[in-house]
Amino acid sequence: MSFIENTLYKQILKSIPVLTIDLIVLDSNTKKYILVKRNNPPLQNEAMTPGGRIFKNENAVSAAVRICKQELGLDIPQLNWGFMGFFEGMWSENIFEDPAVSTHTLSVVFYSRLLVDSSKVVLDSQSSEFILSDKLPSIISQSSYIIPTPSK
């Protein structure tokens, strides 16, 4: 599995929605959501759930495990992820900062059944910091396609 070359990815963004995964992870000490401050558009400098694209021939739960390891440095096995729903995002911004290209994502949302120690979080280069929040980002919490989170 590999990354898509920039020219091709720009064409994809112009043409179709991108299938992504977003992760709901709770800190074991505070029972708050672990959100990351994004370095890239869309939602640059905003707190969002960790997430990323699903690779070709990768099942959704495997993508959740991979993304959690990449973005948070946490190993949460497949059997500990539960399906929570999906949401759509549509933004005029994109990673190419090209005003002619918008971003449209369809994100499958999983929640971790395991609470994690946020002191063990190690971020990748896509995020500048993480925060602990009582609330999920509104794009998720206000989606009519999200099953309510299990009680903390």
- Taking 3-state DSSP, the helix, strand and coil percentages for the chain, each rounded to the nearest 5, stand at 20, 35, 45
Q: Could you tell me the domains of the chain?
A: 6-141 (3.90.79.10)
HSE at residue 25, side-chain half, CA atoms within 13 A, is 32
Strand order in the sheet with 33-38: 47-48, 33-38, 127-133
Over the stretch 8-47, which tens digit does the pLDDT of each residue have?
A: 999 999 999 999 999 999 999 999 999 999 999 999 999 9
User: Could you give the angle at the alpha carbon of 140 between the alpha carbons of 3 and 59, nearest 5°?
Assistant: 40
Q: How confident is the model at residue 147 (pLDDT cuts 50, 70, 90)?
A: confident
Please say whether the beta carbons of 116 and 27 come within 8 A: yes
Instruction: State mean pLDDT over 71-79.
Output: 97
Give pLDDT, residue 145.
87
Taking 70 as the threshold, does the pLDDT of residue 149 lie above it? no
In angstroms, rounded to a whole number, what is the distance separating the alpha carbons of residues 91 and 151?
A: 31
Over the stretch 92-134, which tens digit does the pLDDT of each residue have?
A: 999 999 999 999 999 999 999 999 999 999 999 999 999 999 9
Residue type at position 2: S
| pTM for this entry | 0.92
Give pLDDT, residue 44.
95
User: Could you give the angle at the alpha carbon of 40 between the alpha carbons of 81 and 23, nearest 5°?
Assistant: 10
Please say whether the beta carbons of 118 and 133 come within 8 A: no
Give pLDDT, residue 150.
61
| One-character DSSP codes across 47-108 | EE--EEEPPTT--HHHHHHHHHHHHH-----GGGEEEEEEEEEEES--TT--TT--EEEEEE
Give pLDDT, residue 4.
86
